[in-house]
């Protein structure tokens, strides 16, 4: 496997970085956004087929003129998807900043080690 991956870095470098507190912060910040967002959209999305499938009469209730709950709820899925995407992009920008800091500090340390030799 190592042969297939010419750019594999020394294992210990990975381990050092993975153990760094800043890296752990980044990972938990990501999880804190991604897991709830994922659960929310899956639940919100599946409400639609479940309601359409099991409560078609309720979904056929007309709200504006002939436009019914089923169609409005379907439309709201588009807004929900775009909304979560927008929120994620905002959150991801802070992840990028954290990641950049981690890379910079580890590079500083690496070059420092070389000079020290």
Partner 1 sequence: MSMPLMMFLLFIAVTLAITYWASKRSAGGSAYFAASRRITGWQNGIAVAGDYMSAASFLGIAGIIAFQGYDGFMYSVGWLVAYLTVLLVVAEPLRNAGRYTMADVLAYRLRPRPVRAMASMSTLTVSTFYMIAQMVGAGALVALLLKDSGISYHAAVVGVGVLMIVYVVFGGMLATTWVQIIKAILLIAGTILLSFLVLAHFHFSLGEFFYAISHVTYHDKGKEVVQNFLQPGLRFKPPYGALDLISLGLALIFGTAGLPHILVRFYTVPDAKTARTSVVWAMALIGSFYIMTTFLGFGAATIVGRDFIATHGGTNMSAPLLAQSLAGNVFFAFICAIAFATILAVVA
- Nearer to partner 1 by C-beta: 53 or 116? 53
Helices marked H in 1-117 — which ranges? 11-19, 21-54, 56-59, 69-116
Q: Is residue 92 within the footprint of partner 1 (CB under 8 A)? A: yes
Residue (69 or 113) nearer to partner 1, CB? 69
Work out whether 23 is an interface residue with partner 1 (CB under 8 A): no
Cβ atoms of 80 and 42 closer than 8 Å: no
The three-state secondary structure class of 20 is: coil
How far is it, in rounded angstroms, from Cα 13 to Cα 30? 22
Number of chain positions touching partner 1 (CB under 8 A):
39
Q: Which is nearer to partner 1, 20 or 52 (CB)?
A: 52
- Range 57-76, binding partner 1 (CB under 8 A): 59-60, 65-68, 70-71, 74-75
17 is a site residue for partner 1 (CB under 8 A): no
Alpha-carbon distance of 17 to 3, in angstroms, equals 23
DSSP SS3 for 26: helix
Q: Is the dihedral of CA 109, 112, 116, 117 positive or negative?
A: positive
- Which of 2/12 has CB closer to partner 1? 2
Which positions touch partner 1 (CB under 8 A)? 1, 4-5, 7, 34, 37-38, 41-42, 45-46, 48-50, 52-54, 56, 59-60, 65-68, 70-71, 74-75, 77-78, 80-82, 84-85, 88-89, 92, 96
């Amino acid at each position: 496997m190592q042969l297939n991956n010419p750019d594999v870095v020394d294992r210990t470098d990975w381990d050092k970085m993975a153990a760094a507190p800043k890296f752990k912060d980044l990972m938990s910040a990501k999880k804190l956004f991604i897991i709830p967002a994922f659960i929310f959209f899956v639940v919100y999305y599946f409400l639609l087929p479940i309601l359409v499938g099991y409560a078609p009469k309720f979904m056929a209730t007309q709200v504006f003129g002939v436009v019914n709950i089923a169609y409005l709820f379907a439309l709201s899925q588009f807004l929900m998807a775009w909304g979560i995407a927008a929120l994620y992009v905002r959150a991801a920008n802070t992840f990028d900043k954290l990641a950049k800091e981690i890379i910079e500090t580890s590079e500083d340390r690496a070059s420092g080690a070389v000079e020290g030799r």
